[in-house]
C-alpha cells in the first residue's frame, strides 16, 4: 500500500501499472490495487489467498502471476549483486 500512496503523493500515475509484491495481496490491499488501476500483479508467496479478492481480480481482468524462484536463480542473483558492488 505504501508504494501506491507514494505514487499519489508525488503525482505518479498508477492506472495500467504493474506491481511486484512479496505476498498475495489481502482483501483490503486487493481493493486498493484495483482502485488504483493496477493491471498486473506479480507475487512471490501465497498468503491467506482470499477467495473474494481472487474473484475481484478476475472480474477486473487483472493479470495475476505467481512468481517462483528456484535456489539457483537466487544464488546467481546474489553473486551478480555482489560482483556489481565490487
pLDDT at residue 75 in the model: 81
**Cα(63)–Cα(84) distance, rounded to whole angstroms?**
33
Residues 6+ apart with CB under 8 A from 9: none
pLDDT over 90 (residue 26): yes
Taking CA 81 as the corner, what is the angle to CA 78 and CA 86, rounded to the nearest 5 degrees? 125
pLDDT digits (tens, 9 = 90+) for 36-86: 999 999 999 998 999 999 999 999 999 999 998 887 877 888 888 888 886
pLDDT at residue 58 in the model: 97
* pTM of the model as a whole: 0.80
Amino acid at each position: 500500500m505504501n508504494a501506491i500512496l507514494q505514487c499519489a503523493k508525488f503525482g505518479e500515475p498508477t492506472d495500467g501499472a504493474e506491481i511486484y509484491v512479496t505476498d498475495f495481496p489481502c482483501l483490503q490491499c486487493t481493493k486498493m490495487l484495483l482502485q488504483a488501476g493496477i493491471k498486473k500483479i506479480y507475487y512471490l508467496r501465497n498468503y491467506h489467498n482470499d477467495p473474494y479478492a481472487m474473484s475481484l481480480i478476475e472480474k477486473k481482468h487483472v493479470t495475476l502471476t505467481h512468481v517462483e524462484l528456484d535456489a539457483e536463480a537466487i544464488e546467481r542473483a546474489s553473486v551478480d549483486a555482489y560482483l556489481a558492488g565490487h
